């Protein structure tokens, strides 16, 4: 049974569970692009909080790229699923090659989404990290590790849907984890959405610009 009409509705339902963070000047919402941005836009609007992106790239198994064996994030962090790497027998040269390719794409997206704007300051802030769902959690773990190096006061992971085991594991690594729906069995993030079309770079940029304009009007 699908839970959400689309990412925007999922963000609205997620925001309803984040009311404790509304209207606080120490809160910032960071989206994992691209799919997390429409979700995070609704969260940031509801909480009256600034919105930005924190870029993460999945490291996909050759020939089965949707199956991630790890991820990289802004700041040079790389997270590997060591058990999966061992089971698949992935050579280090393959891992490094895929990492290099994805790092170039990460840098391209950083420039496309942020341009010359600096990375947001998160030191001492409560950071709400949003994605459209958690399957293996590799991308979110990479984001959390990279953010820790920037010394936020707290990290809150917020997603509309996720695998229960992944959520339980990640919950121990952050100050709070909010997940609207954890169906069992969990097949894939997309299985929880009626409309799970890919989010384009253009949509990401438009939503970020709209969020900045709204923040400027409210200040």
- pLDDT value at residue 77: 80
Give the Cβ contact number of residue 4 at 10 Å. 24
Q: What is the pLDDT of residue 46?
A: 97
What is the per-residue pLDDT for 1?
A: 57
Query: What does the pLDDT read at residue 40?
Result: 98
Domains of the chain: 7-218 (3.40.50.2020)
Prediction pTM value: 0.88
pLDDT (tens place) for every residue of the chain, 219 residues total: 578 999 999 999 999 999 999 999 999 999 999 999 999 999 999 999 999 999 988 899 999 887 888 888 887 788 888 999 999 999 999 999 999 999 999 999 988 998 888 888 899 999 999 999 999 898 898 899 889 888 999 999 999 999 999 999 999 999 999 999 999 999 899 999 999 999 999 999 999 999 998 877 765
| Terminal-to-terminal C-alpha distance of the chain | 42
CA 121/CA 218 separation, integer angstroms = 20
CA-to-CA dists, residue 139 to 17, 69, 79, 180, angstroms: 23, 10, 8, 19
- DSSP code, position 21: G
CB neighbour burial string for 136-172, b if at least 16 within 10 angstroms, e if fewer = bbbbbbbbbbbbeebebeebbbbbbbbbeebbeebee
Show contacts of 117-121: CB within 8 Å, 24+ apart: 119/74, 120/28, 120/30, 120/50, 120/52
């Amino acid at each position: 049974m699908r839970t959400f009409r689309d990412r925007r509705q999922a963000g609205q339902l997620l925001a309803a569970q984040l009311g404790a963070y509304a209207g606080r000047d120490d809160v910032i919402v960071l989206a994992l692009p691209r799919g997390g941005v429409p979700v995070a836009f609704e969260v940031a609007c509801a909480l009256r909080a600034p919105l930005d992106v924190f870029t993460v790239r999945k490291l996909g198994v050759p020939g089965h790229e949707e199956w991630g064996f790890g991820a990289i994030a802004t700041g040079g962090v790389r997270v590997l699923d060591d058990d999966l790497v061992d089971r698949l027998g992935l050579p280090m040269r393959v891992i490094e090659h895929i990492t290099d390719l994805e790092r170039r794409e990460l840098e391209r997206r950083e420039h496309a989404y942020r341009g010359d704007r600096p990375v947001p300051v998160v030191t001492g802030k409560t950071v709400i990290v949003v994605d459209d769902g958690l399957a293996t959690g590799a991308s979110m773990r990479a984001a959390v590790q990279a953010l820790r190096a920037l010394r936020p006061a707290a990290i809150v992971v917020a997603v509309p849907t996720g695998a229960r085991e992944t959520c339980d594991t990640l919950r121990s690594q952050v100050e709070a984890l909010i997940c609207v729906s954890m169906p069992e069995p969990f097949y894939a993030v997309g299985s929880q959405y009626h409309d799970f079309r890919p989010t384009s770079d253009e949509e990401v940029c438009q939503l970020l610009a709209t969020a900045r304009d709204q923040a400027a009007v409210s200040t």
